[in-house]
Chain A
Amino acid sequence: MGKITKKEPFFWIAVSCGLVIMLLILLPLIQMLTAPSFSILKETIQDKDVVRSIWLSVYTAGLAATISFLFGTPLAYVLARSCFRGKHLIESIIDLPIVIPHPVVGIAILSVAGRGHWLGQLFSELGIRIMGSVTGIVVVLTFVGLPFYVNAVKTGFEGISPRLENVSRSLGASMFSTFCRVTFPLARRSMLIGIIMCSARAISEFGAVVIIAYHPMIAPVLLYERFESYGLKYSQPVAVWLVSICLALFLILRILTLRNTKNS
């Protein structure tokens, strides 16, 4: 690859484009984060509705990531290790939630969860409510977050040489022991990245959740409501808290797992 020198006009085009992108990302974020005063921020975090909604957002996203981890890990492993007819089809199906517009996701889930559908009927007979419930929120968040987890972990598994597993098997380890002792520890990093990507995506979901469950209110819905009813000034502090708490959580998760990896 050639090196770009400062003399070439392309260098300056690249620099200006880069600057525009940096401004686009950073300017609004910095503006929003610095707009509310300290006292308003303090007042906001004492608001029970705000705390409740942020907590709901965090733990429903966490549940979505946990479900993705439990169900997505074996699937990601199979996709990484085997070659079969229809594999590309399955991969495309997993990617579908990424490309479908968010409100459409809400409508689609509603169409099977409503009383008009036998599945919805079954759920309501079992006492499981999707509409306007935490269960419904978790279903939606899993739907939109799962592809991020599966793709990250699949890439991680693909990076582990199958020969390591072969050697482990030949030394007497069953498939399950091999997965626990070799594959899982080596894929841990990509699983962490998958969990972070999946929960980050889940926490940011608005369009689909607002259709399934306006109440109980997750943070983005509360944000929207505050904006609609009271205006920008009242929604900014909620946004600042949501962003800060998410960043802090991801940072802690990252530090914890990095330490574990070093210890082992």
Chain B
Amino acid sequence: MISIDNVSIQLGKFGLRDINITIEKNEFFILMGPTGAGKTVLLEAIAGLIRVDSGHIHVNGRNITKFPPEKRGISIVYQDYSLFPHLTVRDNITYGLHFHKVAGNEAKKRFDRLVEELNLSHLLQRLPTNLSGGENQRIALARALIVSPKVLLLDEPLSALDPGFREGLRKRLKSLHESTNVTFLMVTHDFSEALSLADRAAVMDGGEIKQVGKMKEIFQRPNSAFVADFVGMKNLFTARFCDTKAVIEDLEIELGRPPENGHGHIAIRPEDVVISREKLSSSMRNSFMGRVAEIMDQGLCYEVSIAVKDVLFKSLITKSSLFDLEVREGSDIYLSFKSMAMHTF
């Protein structure tokens, strides 16, 4: 278990402020945030590579805040692989064994298992310089795991890879996590990666943790405008609340309940906004007529912007429904959403 308590770090003008995260043993935890949020700094602080100015870091109940990196049992894998260019693949993988007391046959067992699981047997005599990104990242993973660390830190391990390799390595990461009892802490800015790998995550920005919780919770109930925007809550409005109603500009929306922790924001995921030709009269309490302002091709689906009075809603629909509903720019159309799909904060 990792517990990070009130950790602050000052690095010139940038810094981390009051970071608090608890990660369970053997959990796969994701750290998200825009570039410059301080994710790598936090990882390096956990690994002991950056000095913590205040606060504590505990791993499995031991306070490791003042430990040098080599005494922590925390491995790190970087986006650029950081393999030792002067060592063969075999020597790269076994590098950490020089510094750990591992019996010969146990070391061999670990080595064989990792080489097999990561499919590296044909590369062992090569130098890493001429290998592909996917191969390099697999070597880096084997090198990090052979010392049986308590925690594995992964700094955007997949983002430098070609999309084809990325999918394969993502599956390998998941199976490695399941087959070892190592706690994984991974930085990423890819939501599909995050959703497929992790149970819980934290969102960082400007050196602060904005939200910690289950993946689903962060996506469905962002607690701030920043997180909502970051996770793709494209319908984000400032609103006035009045009993169970929210008012955006002069559009009245029925929440069906009094707003929880309402600080003047309301958000709806674009996939929760339903488009129809006729006014829906079922459980959808909020149904408005609007005019299609813009249609954007997003590959697998279309993002349709619909203006209701002065409020612009965004909806995600499939290509087939775009044709079925004859959605065109300038045409009038109904949009509806359940009150449960609305998030207030």
Contact = CB atoms under 8 A, between A and B. Distances in A.
Interface of A: 161, 163-164, 166-175, 177, 181-182, 185-186, 264
B98 interface: yes
Interface residues of B, number: 25
Contacts of B96: 171-173
B82 A161 contact: yes
A166 B70 contact: no
A169 B78 contact: no
B147 interface: yes
B82 A173 contact: no
Nearest to B73: A172
B74 interface: yes
Q: Which of A161, A164, A167 has the most CB of B within 10 A?
A: A167
Contacts of A181: 95, 98
B49 A172 contact: no
A158 to B, nearest CB: 16
Contacts of B49: 166, 169-170
Interface in B58-86: 68-70, 72, 74-76, 78, 80, 82, 84-86
Contact of A170 (B76, B80, B84, B98): B76
A171 B95 contact: yes
A177 B84 CA distance: 14
Nearest to A83: B12
A171 B99 contact: yes
Q: For A175, A181, A186, which residue has the most chain B Cβ atoms within 10 angstroms?
A: A181
A163 B86 contact: no
Contact of A172 (B47, B70, B78): B70
A175 B70 CA distance: 9
A172 B100 contact: yes
Nearest to B69: A169
Interface in B126-177: 143-144, 147
Contacts of A177: 98-99
A170 B85 contact: no
A170 B82 contact: no
B82 A167 contact: yes
A181 B94 CA distance: 13
A172 B70 CA distance: 4
B75 A164 contact: no
A182 B98 CA distance: 13
A170 B95 contact: no
